[in-house]
Structure 1
Amino acid sequence: MTRPAGRSGKARTVVVIGGGIAGLATAALLARDGHAVHLLEQQDSLGGRAGRWEAGGFRFDTGPSWYLMPEVIDHWFRLMGTSAAAELDLVRLDPGYRTFFEGEASPVDVPASREGAVALFESLDPGSGARLAQYLDEAEDAYRVATQRFLYDDFSSLRGLASPDILRRLPRLAALLTQTLDGRIARRFRDPRERQILGYPAVFLGTTPFRAPALYQLMSHLDLGQGVLYPRGGFAALVDAMERLARGAGVDVCLGARARRIVTGEFAGGVRVAGVEWTDDGGRGRRLDADVVVGAADLHHLETELLPAALRSHSEEAWSRRDPGPAAVLACLGIRGRLPELAHHNLFFVRDWRDNFRRITAGLHLAEATSLYVSRTSATDPHAAPAGDESLFVLVPAPAKPEWGRGGVDGSGSPAVEAVGDAAIRQVSEWARIPDLARRVVVRRTIGPADFAADFNAWRGGALGLAHTLGQSAMFRPANASRTVSGLLYAGASVRPGIGVPMCLISAELVLKRVRGDRLPGPAGLVEAKSLEVPWPT
């Protein structure tokens, strides 16, 4: 069966609320398809959580930093008539990342290739290399099924689940959905370092390995099977490329534009969108009429602040049962001198991982030592710091508690946020054996849970979006269309398919497909997901 691959038959006027990755991607795709698109972004720049900050010659991405699922990102660029290779300067990282384990004398570098990962596991625990090879085979199969049948499906119809490849895999899928990721890993791997390397991708999904379904074993195909890329200039370069293409396609970008109300009207006994009321950066009230409105901001904010209660698809009672995923404390640190002790990506794992995650999900204070992530962007990108210096971005997963407060520059954030930042610096200093790290910090800015709530309207200050638990994945995740208002569609990390830059790009495609009238599973404009293949830089 051939899917629609061209422009929609009728040109519509579209208003997109939110200029993060999902909103920017959606606006660009719809404009390229021939629609008149207006993009409203409340901040003074685009990108949303994929933000940027610069001070003293140091440059920082303040959001996503792992370039995974490159074929998905490239597919979006190809829908825009170009390619990721043409728009970005992509570098393959080797090692993919460095891991520090509490109590271990030396860090462990994770190689950039599947073969290297298998050899690494064999060196850590003889016999586990073969088990990892089998695990990665299964992960790759799960990933291909996901891209073909789950990720690019808005589940407005369940017919995609009746495909032969799904029916053939039902016993395996049942096992993957009824086991936890940690349980699946523990049955095969004894070494705690291996378990943490395989389990940590659950954090990318806003959850823990103890709560994520084993289906997310597929994540190991991304970092261990495919490897990790980096776009020079960081994710800011990705946002810039997307903005350039969106404006080139005709998107009308309105910055400093805060949406106040989604306007609706009655038709044929139902309710449909009529436009959006918003205020500009001067506080003046404005309105844009629209045939289609795409909410690409936080779903809870969109429904509770911009719609009356009677038109919301999700009640407050339903929200009270949902898992917002973790918040985070971020620290942007400009460091004098070099830091060869760190790789580009660095993961720090505490020994008592279960207690670490329990503190986050239960809303408790973090321990003095906690699992965290450090990006030394200047290891790959010389423009990220002055010559001879380093740019560090530290991310500490934290409870979704906006009452912890906001961050600030030079220690001016809330006491709770600054205390987490101080502890993280001490931990990195001790574990990576950089005794003078704190004294070498010349630029510092922290970001706390309340910043995510204030700047991105993030529900409960979540850093990523709704956690990918079983009850919040695939068809169980909030839908990409309102159940009560015709013409009101949704994109972004709150809805299907989920969290992360690639998922947000796919959510934009789901909106594009719905506007086109294409309800088939699989990427827009392609017959088979296997077409999502791009050459890797060497």
Structure 2
Amino acid sequence: MVNLNAITKSQKLKMPDFAPKNRTLPSVYEIEDAVEHVMQMLLGDDVRIGERNSGGVVVMTGAGVSTDSGIPDYRGEQGTYTVNANYKPIYFQEFLARHSFRQRYWARGYLGWGQIHDAKPNSTHLALKSLQDKGYISNLITQNVDRLHLVAGSPEDRVAELHGTLATVECLSCGHKQPRDVFQDVLSELNPEWAAYRHHLKTTHTEPRINPDGDVELPANVSYYDFEIPPCPKCHTGIVKPSVVFFGENIKADVKALTSEWIRQARAILVIGSSLATYSAYRLVKTAHEMGKEVGLVNIGATRGDDIASWKCEVACGEVFPVVTKERVCSGSLIFPLLDKHVVVVGAGVGGVATAARLASQGIKVTVVEKNDFVGGRCSLLYQDGHRFDQGPSLYLMPKIFKETFDDLGHNIEDHIDLLKCERNYRVHFHDGDSIQLSPDLSIMKKEIERYEGEGVEPFLCFLRFIEESHIHYERSVQLALKQNFVYWWHLFRLKYIPDVFRLHLVNTIYGRAKKYFQSKKVRMALTFQTMYMSMSPFEAPANYNLLQYTEFAEGIWYPRGGFNIVPSALAKIAESYGATIRLNCPVKSINTTDRSVTGVTLADGEVIEADAVIANADLVYVYNTLLPPSTYGKRLSDKAKYTSSSISFYWCLDREVPELDVHNIFLAEAYKESFDEIFKDLSLPSDPSFYVNVPSRIDPSSAPPGRDTVVVLVPIGHSRHAIPEDQTEMVKKARQMVIGTITKRLQLPDFSSYVVHETVNDPSTWASRFNLWKGSILGRFDNLFFVGASAHPGTGVPIVLCCAKLVSEQVGQWLGIDVRWSKKVKGANGDTRVPAKRFTFAYYIVTDLMPIALVVLAIVWLLQYICIMSSTPRPQWVS
């Protein structure tokens, strides 16, 4: 046993002398030179994947790789040793010797784990994963304990965690392992005061600085002696520690053998973001050098391996590796340089970042300019006093489309988004205090349907037939509308589409089809209100739009842990990993044009960015009337375009939990049809509105402080009659009174208004000013100007916009003369791999103004279907 008293602080904190003694090669300080050095190592002497000299490179990463993820390193400018000269990491012998040391470690680690758990892979992690996929990197050894390489998608069998991981906890007696999250929950139960303190730090955004090993710094007067540590849950006596290698502890034998074998087999070793201060890492590099292998270093500052390196680049890894993946893109087996094409995306909404990621993955240089200081557009977050609100979407529907997007980009969606499934889809409240729950559990739905439609087999069979019909609508609509471009008018006239005219019931309304299956008005209402999400009335929306009912009942409603902004944020990081540049706080003044094309954009500060194509992720009418030169087309759009509805949204901090509210709640007006008419025909706030209430804290406790609820209320209203929405103060006041009155009455909560301790409001003027939505609406005249988003084909809604991003990316690729290929995940003999999918050869580009042609076609289709319907029996019920 080591004499602990003999280990002085200076000995523990002494840094190795890294001053090189016999340097023969100067360090490289320019990004371009660093990229060239890395590329030469990765490519070897050939330019083909799979050839003799390509691949065979082992990468070793250190703490410097994770700094862009918010986890500091040890010796950088903001490193732990630099910022805190008194920092003292715990030694293995200390951890074993004293219970008080274990209390100190686990208390600090308990508070720090959340930041490690929530950290996301940065552009370097994603770039290295991409290089592994393409065969340039054979294996990856990491000294980091944050698991971010695995979260980024690097294959688990090709990543060695030299110093272990914080994600599991193990018993030193029996070897039993358990997930860190489970252990954290046990610590929370044993230490409720510490749990409350941790939640306070998180919700007030006052979390103390984290260290690379996962603990945090706390004031010296904090006492740890009341912190309880549970014993091993299996043997009940053993000491538990995280599955990491502490200072003074030996590397596990199997890890040591594996990494040594990888070094033996490697052609070269590339060290990234590490000073090689620990001998366990330096030993591997030293071995590679002694075996005559090339050793490359990418690290700012001196390293222990400077004297044996073949070359060194003192450049931040986050500046180098995204450029490396951008400079060489895989197309079949050949490697070709970055394409001499530049695309500017105006707006970093969901459509903007998804399109940027897709184009960047094809080797196209992409610059995204966004006026706000965040990505996601309306898919953004608000914070207030520990409460977190989804400012826009809150329903994660059609999950297959989300997955397809990430698959196409070569990523597993599970590595980026943690989905929570709602136990119930909705609780629907009616004017008389009655309510019905909609659930993906068919046994529950059978009981609910029988309550309103009567007992017996037939009512439930009608429900199943309704869902079967919506399934047909879902499958055919996805294939025929969401994944197709209708650019020229003759594309609408295809004989193979004629059978689908009848399958999709295009001349029926959603409410009309519901009336065919259900006798109860309440059931019809409960199964048709979803058109509100698409800003349509169920009495006017074509029947094929009941596809949402299918996805809700068959696939369920989900919620991304941490809020919906997780989705665009993940796409933005993937885009950056492929080399895209995302510039926030950069409003666009104008899109620059010539006679028939656009040449780039001018920012508000006068900077001009030239481009081969421009993609507008902004409202179509806003772009034509504000960013483009005045035109008769733009005027016609603003005068005659049909706008979606707007909304008034209330974001409420409650001082308590309200169990009467579920995650998703719908309050329907008694005058159901009239309420929609007032929105879409009168363009007003309904006198008796239907509205939606979301309580994210019911499914994701992190969205509210303990014992409180976060509530979002969305009240659909007509869009503003003016380009700049008028003052909405009285309308907001009236809407608030009606919402609180309805909730108070229907839920029998007489004091509900007093529960609201803080309110934030978004009205049509907010949507117009913050997100450039023309007239507060919430949803090609130039050859190389494209549109993506809710105002472009195929329509509104996050999954629909993701489909739009794919379509427009393919069109931009074709316009630029690029053979677009998406990555697809397939199961191979050695596990999951990614291969190029089919190529796209569309020879046309996006035009968005097809509504008049579509109406003509639908009129012809209506006549054909009407003849068929009149000659058949029994006739379906038609409802206006």
TM-score range, shorter chain: 0.7 to 0.9
Aligned twin of 2:713 = 394
Structure 1 CA distance, aligned partners of 2:479 and 2:688?
41
**TM-score if structure 2 supplies the norm length?**
0.52
Structure 2 CA distance, aligned partners of 1:512 and 1:50?
21
Which residues in structure 2 correspond to 1:47-196 (within 5 Å)? 47-104=376-433, 106-114=434-442, 116-126=444-454, 127-156=458-487, 162=494, 164=496, 166-173=497-504, 176-196=505-525
Structure 1 position 155, deviation (Å):
1.1
Structure 1 position 278, deviation (Å):
1.1
Structure 2 CA distance, aligned partners of 1:163 and 1:251?
41
Aligned twin of 1:418 = 733
Q: SS where residue 564 of structure 2 aligns?
A: helix
**Deviations 1:59-81 (CA, angstroms, capped at 9, x unpaired):** 10010001001000111111222
Structure 1 CA distance, aligned partners of 2:667 and 2:783?
47
Aligned twin of 1:476 = none
Structure 2 CA distance, aligned partners of 1:117 and 1:292?
50
Matched, 1:19 2:348: yes
User: Which of 461, 476, 481 pairs up with 2:776?
Assistant: 461
Structure 2 CA distance, aligned partners of 1:438 and 1:60?
19
User: Which of 809, 827, 832 pairs up with 1:512?
Assistant: 809
What amino acid is aligned across from residue 384 of structure 2 in structure 1?
A
Structure 2 CA distance, aligned partners of 1:318 and 1:305?
12
**Deviations 1:167-208 (CA, angstroms, capped at 9, x unpaired):** 4334334xx111221122122211111111221111111110
Checking the alignment, whether the CA contact within 8 Å between 2:695 and 2:712 is kept in structure 1 is: yes
Checking the alignment, whether the CA contact within 8 Å between 1:274 and 1:290 is kept in structure 2 is: yes
User: Which of 621, 634, 648 pairs up with 1:329?
Assistant: 648
Checking the alignment, whether the CA contact within 8 Å between 2:621 and 2:637 is kept in structure 1 is: no
Instruction: Tell me which moved more, 332-341 or 394-403.
Output: 394-403
Aligned twin of 1:473 = none
Structure 1 position 241, deviation (Å):
1.6
User: Which of 680, 701, 705 pairs up with 1:382?
Assistant: 701
Structure 2 CA distance, aligned partners of 1:402 and 1:160?
33
Structure 1 CA distance, aligned partners of 2:533 and 2:821?
25
Structure 2 CA distance, aligned partners of 1:440 and 1:418?
17
What amino acid is aligned across from residue 491 of structure 1 in structure 2?
V
User: Which of 599, 604, 608 pairs up with 1:274?
Assistant: 599
Residues 455 and 337 (structure 1), Cα distance of their counterparts in 2 relative to 1, 3 Å cut: same
**Deviations 1:116-138 (CA, angstroms, capped at 9, x unpaired):** 43443233212321111111111
Structure 2 CA distance, aligned partners of 1:113 and 1:33?
42
Residues 100 and 524 (structure 1), Cα distance of their counterparts in 2 relative to 1, 3 Å cut: farther
Matched, 1:451 2:772: no
Residues 203 and 309 (structure 1), Cα distance of their counterparts in 2 relative to 1, 3 Å cut: same
What amino acid is aligned across from residue 96 of structure 1 in structure 2?
N
Which residues in structure 2 correspond to 1:516-531 (within 5 Å)? 516-517=813-814, 525=822
Checking the alignment, whether the CA contact within 8 Å between 2:671 and 2:688 is kept in structure 1 is: no
**Deviations 1:317-348 (CA, angstroms, capped at 9, x unpaired):** 34433321111000000101111101100000
Aligned twin of 2:217 = none
User: Which of 612, 616, 622 pairs up with 1:301?
Assistant: 622
Structure 1 residue runs of 5 or longer lacking an equivalent are: 408-412, 466-481, 528-538
Residues 115 and 497 (structure 1), Cα distance of their counterparts in 2 relative to 1, 3 Å cut: farther
Residues 486 and 317 (structure 1), Cα distance of their counterparts in 2 relative to 1, 3 Å cut: closer
Aligned twin of 1:201 = 530
What amino acid is aligned across from residue 274 of structure 1 in structure 2?
T
Identity of aligned residues (%): 28
Structure 1 CA distance, aligned partners of 2:683 and 2:674?
10
Structure 1 position 159, deviation (Å):
5.1
Structure 1 position 214, deviation (Å):
1.1
Aligned twin of 1:360 = 679
Residues 451 and 524 (structure 1), Cα distance of their counterparts in 2 relative to 1, 3 Å cut: farther
Checking the alignment, whether the CA contact within 8 Å between 1:149 and 1:161 is kept in structure 2 is: no
Instruction: Tell me which moved more, 114-123 or 199-208.
Output: 114-123
User: Which of 369, 372, 378 pairs up with 2:691?
Assistant: 372
Aligned twin of 2:611 = 290
Q: SS where residue 138 of structure 1 aligns?
A: helix
**TM-score if structure 1 supplies the norm length?**
0.84
**Deviations 1:338-368 (CA, angstroms, capped at 9, x unpaired):** 1110110000001111111111123355355
Structure 2 CA distance, aligned partners of 1:337 and 1:203?
29
Structure 2 CA distance, aligned partners of 1:150 and 1:361?
24
Structure 1 CA distance, aligned partners of 2:331 and 2:668?
48
Aligned twin of 2:843 = none
Structure 1 position 264, deviation (Å):
2.1
Checking the alignment, whether the CA contact within 8 Å between 2:408 and 2:823 is kept in structure 1 is: no
Number of residue-to-residue matches in the alignment:
483
Structure 1 CA distance, aligned partners of 2:603 and 2:658?
47
What amino acid is aligned across from residue 429 of structure 2 in structure 1?
F
- Larger C-alpha radius of gyration, 1 or 2? 2
Residues 406 and 428 (structure 1), Cα distance of their counterparts in 2 relative to 1, 3 Å cut: farther
Structure 1 CA distance, aligned partners of 2:617 and 2:446?
40
Q: Which one scores higher on RCO, CA 8 angstroms, separation ≥ 6?
A: 1
Checking the alignment, whether the CA contact within 8 Å between 1:44 and 1:255 is kept in structure 2 is: yes
**Deviations 1:478-534 (CA, angstroms, capped at 9, x unpaired):** xxxx2x31211110000100001011111111111112339xxxx97499xxxxxxx
Structure 2 CA distance, aligned partners of 1:97 and 1:338?
18
What amino acid is aligned across from residue 510 of structure 1 in structure 2?
L
What amino acid is aligned across from residue 435 of structure 1 in structure 2?
P
Q: SS where residue 64 of structure 1 aligns?
A: coil
Checking the alignment, whether the CA contact within 8 Å between 1:6 and 1:525 is kept in structure 2 is: no
What amino acid is aligned across from residue 784 of structure 2 in structure 1?
G
**Deviations 1:121-163 (CA, angstroms, capped at 9, x unpaired):** 2332123211111111111112111112211112125558637
User: Which of 219, 225, 235 pairs up with 2:548?
Assistant: 219
Residues 171 and 107 (structure 1), Cα distance of their counterparts in 2 relative to 1, 3 Å cut: closer
Q: SS where residue 203 of structure 1 aligns?
A: helix
Structure 2 CA distance, aligned partners of 1:6 and 1:225?
38
Matched, 1:434 2:766: no
User: Which of 638, 654, 667 pairs up with 1:348?
Assistant: 667
Aligned twin of 1:495 = 792
Structure 2 CA distance, aligned partners of 1:130 and 1:355?
30
Matched, 1:247 2:576: yes
Question: What is the RMSD of the two structures over their aligned residues, measured on CA atoms?
Answer: 2.6
Structure 1 position 243, deviation (Å):
2.2
Structure 2 residue runs of 5 or longer lacking an equivalent are: 1-329, 825-880
Structure 1 CA distance, aligned partners of 2:555 and 2:443?
11
Residues 373 and 81 (structure 1), Cα distance of their counterparts in 2 relative to 1, 3 Å cut: same
Checking the alignment, whether the CA contact within 8 Å between 2:621 and 2:634 is kept in structure 1 is: no
Instruction: Tell me which moved more, 420-429 or 57-66.
Output: 420-429
Instruction: Tell me which moved more, 391-400 or 228-237.
Output: 228-237
